[in-house]
Structure 1
Amino acid sequence: MTSTAEKIRSRMQVRRDLPNPEQRRALRESAGLSQQELANAIGVTHQAVSHWEAGIRTPRGAVLDRYVDALRALREASTPERAA
């Protein structure tokens, strides 16, 4: 069972992992995705993504979790793998 303190720490980590608005846009653009495509992937409107990338709004709750996960995936996809 997850304690309340663990839930709080988990939520704080997600917020730390949220890049600034300029970096959010850059990650999406470097992956060749439109705002609509990213929005569809996480279940929001393209206006929401636009507001997040402009710094007008910040996602919350489950949407924040999905957005951070999507941005992590975009970051990982853009990072070249190290040669073994």
Structure 2
Amino acid sequence: MTTSVADTIRSFRLACPELPDRSERRAIREAAGLTQAQVATAVGVSPQAVALWESGRRTPRGHYLSRYAEALRTMRELA
């Protein structure tokens, strides 16, 4: 059975982690008692990047998207 290009693209989309709404990201971090700098260190980016992600002005890409999504899930569990 061959997989169509459309099926392959859909599988990429399903594998892409979902981020909470931008309005929730800061609340999740604050509820966990963490600073933007602490989250940035855990994800491997600058605190400015986390600030931009929380404001919705930028969206993480590549492996940073996965790492940030995982960090948010973990923080949500801690809160």
Classify 1:75/1:67 alpha carbon distance in 2 versus 1 (closer, same or farther; 3 Å). Answer: same
Give the CA deviation at 1:38.
Answer: 0.4
Q: Which runs of 4+ in 1 moved over 2 A?
A: 3-7
The structure number with the bigger radius of gyration is 2
Give the CA deviation at 1:73.
Answer: 0.4
Instruction: Mark the runs of 5 or more structure 1 residues left unpaired by the alignment.
Output: 79-84
Could you state the TM-score of these two structures normalised by the residue count of structure 1?
Answer: 0.78
Partner of 2:70 in structure 1?
69
Partner of 2:15 in structure 1?
10
Aligned residues: 72
Distance, in Å, in 2 between the alignment partners of 1:27 and 1:73 is 10
Once the two structures are superposed, the pairs formed by residues 1-84 of structure 1 within 5 Å of their partners are: 5=8, 8=12, 9-11=14-16, 14=17, 17-78=18-79
Instruction: Mark the runs of 5 or more structure 2 residues left unpaired by the alignment.
Output: none
Could you state the TM-score of these two structures normalised by the residue count of structure 2?
Answer: 0.82
Greater RCO, 1 or 2 (C-alpha within 8 Å, sep 6+): 2
Give the CA deviation at 1:77.
Answer: 1.4
Q: Secondary structure at the match of 1:57?
A: coil
Give the % identical residues.
47
